[in-house]
């Protein structure tokens, strides 16, 4: 008879959320008997974070990545702004491609989401630049 594992490698966001909730619950208990279970959950959560966030960071521009992190983290723009001590308008402007991510904001975002600065430092076009690029591409007969 095979023994079923209590925890397995995280393969989905719901499983990730479940493990994070269990971890948080165990952390509030003052009992050393959960030490190994807590450490195992931390390793599984960290592994998922590394695999998923690394993939996302490579595939998405900084704004798309930020949108994804906000959505996956189930937080609002306002909550993020408050947590990293910036204005809601700044977050809105960045997500709307109206402002670039400043060095200060890169540092705050990378710290908040536990990601490298490089994830938020790649170039992307702002709306005015994007509109100019689309118009230029139309003139040249390119499609975007």
pLDDT along the chain (144 residues), means of 10: 84 87 89 89 89 73 90 89 96 93 95 85 78 62 56
b/e code 2-25 from CB counts within 10 Å (16+ = b) = eeeeeeeebeeeeebeebeebbee
Place of tokens 């190994």: 36
Based on the fold, state whether residues 112 and 51 are members of the same structural domain: no
Based on the fold, state whether residues 90 and 122 are members of the same structural domain: yes
Based on the fold, state whether residues 31 and 96 are members of the same structural domain: no
Based on the fold, state whether residues 10 and 31 are members of the same structural domain: yes
Please tell me the total count of domains within the chain: 2
pLDDT at res. 95: 93
Based on the fold, state whether residues 55 and 67 are members of the same structural domain: no
State the first-to-last Cα distance of the chain, in angstroms, to the nearest integer. 57
pLDDT at res. 139: 64
Which one of 26, 44, 59 terminates a domain? 59
Based on the fold, state whether residues 65 and 105 are members of the same structural domain: yes
Based on the fold, state whether residues 2 and 52 are members of the same structural domain: yes
Based on the fold, state whether residues 133 and 95 are members of the same structural domain: yes
Domain that holds residue 125: 61-144
Based on the fold, state whether residues 51 and 3 are members of the same structural domain: yes
Are the CB atoms for 126 and 100 separated by under 8 Å?
A: yes
Based on the fold, state whether residues 131 and 73 are members of the same structural domain: yes
pLDDT at res. 51: 79
Based on the fold, state whether residues 50 and 65 are members of the same structural domain: no
Q: How far is the C-alpha of 85 from the C-alpha of 79, rounded, in Å? A: 10
Task: Name the pTM for this structure.
Answer: 0.57
- 134: buried, middle or exposed (CB in 10 Å: 19+, 13-18, 0-12)? middle
pLDDT at res. 137: 59
Based on the fold, state whether residues 70 and 140 are members of the same structural domain: yes
Which one of 59, 86, 104 terminates a domain? 59
Which one of 59, 77, 95 terminates a domain? 59
């Amino acid at each position: 008879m095979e023994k079923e594992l209590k925890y397995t490698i995280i393969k989905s966001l719901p499983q990730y959320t479940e493990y994070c909730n269990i971890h948080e619950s165990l952390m509030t208990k003052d009992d050393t008997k959960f030490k190994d279970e807590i450490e195992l959950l931390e390793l599984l959560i960290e592994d998922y974070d590394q695999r998923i966030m690394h993939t996302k960071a490579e595939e998405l521009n900084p704004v798309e990545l930020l949108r994804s992190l906000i959505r996956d983290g189930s937080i609002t723009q306002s909550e993020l702004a408050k947590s990293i001590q910036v204005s809601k308008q700044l977050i809105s402007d960045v997500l709307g491609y109206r402002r670039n991510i400043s060095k200060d904001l890169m540092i705050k975002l990378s710290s908040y989401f536990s990601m490298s600065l490089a994830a938020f430092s790649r170039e992307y076009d702002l709306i005015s630049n994007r509109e100019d690029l689309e118009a230029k591409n139309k003139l040249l007969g390119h499609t975007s």
